[in-house]
Amino acid sequence: MIWIKGGEFTMGSDQEGVRPDEKPVHKASVDGYWIDEHDVTNSEFKKFVDATGYKTTAERPVDWELLKTQVPPGTPKPPQEQLMPGSLVFTPPDGPVDLKDMSGWWTWIHGADWKHPEGPKSNLDGRWNHPVVQVSWDDAAAYAKWAGKRLPTEAEWEFAARGGLEEARYAWGNEFRPEGKFMANVWTGKFPYLNTKEDGFIGTSPVKSFPPNGYGLYDMSGNVWNWVSDWYRPDTNARMAMMPSCHNPEGPSQSLSLVNSYQEERVTKGGSFLCHVDYCESYRPSARRGTPPDTGTSHIGFRCAMTPAN
């Protein structure tokens, strides 16, 4: 883990092209804390599973009693085969699709889980040093508790991601490719159907494949999104901006989804290998989005934090 001294910083962004939920900028401060140098890897997650016998959300049948609380009343129960264990897998289409419809590149696949990221025929050969994916927020929190750690708050995560740079667009500065060099694992080409592998990778990359930020942290941009502890609301930054003091903020007491009013969401940060400027330039410290905590995907992982002992 890396020690982050803490301090005051400008949270959020008012820069061109940012999403409304990143606005407005406001001052926040955090006390010192420890944070993982890189995303939790498949190898590290396996140690947790081997020690505890833990079954991830994707390895369990879908709980209809829970699911029906997340959909409009009266929604019919899906066929039983659709409630079998599985997860969301990125499945690139053959050509351009409507970028407003994510079903064009996401598919629910039975048997997809952290050990089989693309489905039952896939495995982790050659990927033990890649970030673990297909883990829900609940899975990440369970790992963190086992490790004697916790998930970072959004403010802690964003402060760490900035690496000491005040209001820079990216974790490394304001230029996306300084001296023509890729600084993160992102989508290159035409999203979501053509990846040119210009940055060296099509999917996830091994941790530490790209330079660290100013605090020595890897993959705070791209590769995989990171779960954080906060509930998601689109107006969180606006609410914080109205507070007389914003010290060690822990986020709202409940979530508010822009997509599904029946669904709770947690914050994810950092963007992933699927982010592209034409669709999702979320490989920026201020970028944020809401994700259902019981959902695993091909591009969400996590890292842990720890409060120092008094």
**205-236 confidence digits (pLDDT tens):** 999 999 999 999 999 999 999 999 999 999 99
**144 within domain boundaries:** yes
Q: What is the CATH number of the domain that holds 132?
A: 3.90.1580.10
The conformation of residue 204, written as its DSSP 8-state character, comes to -
Q: Tell me if 79 is assigned to some domain.
A: no
Is a pLDDT exceeding 70 seen at residue 25? yes
Residue 257 belongs to some domain of the structure: yes
Domain tally, the chain? 1
In a domain, 78, yes or no: no
Return the closest-CA partner of residue 115 out of 53, 60, 56.
56
Question: Does 77 fall in a domain?
Answer: no
Q: Give 117-155 pLDDT, tens digit per residue.
A: 999 999 999 999 999 999 999 999 999 999 999 999 999
Confidence category of residue 310, pLDDT binned at 50, 70, 90: low
Please provide residue 62's backbone torsions phi and psi, each rounded to the nearest 5 degrees. Answer: -65, 130
Task: Report if residue 278 sits inside a domain.
Answer: yes
Burial profile 87-121: b = 16 or more Cβ within 10 angstroms, e = fewer? bbbbeeeeeebeeeeeebbbbebebbbbbbbbbee
Q: Domain of 246?
A: 2-72+84-306
Of 3, 115, 1, 72, the C-alpha closest to 260 is: 72
> Which tokens go with 297?
């995907």
Q: 80 pLDDT band (50/70/90 cuts)?
A: confident
Does residue 287 form part of some domain?
yes
Q: Is residue 88 part of a domain?
A: yes
Residues facing 4 on adjacent strands: 33
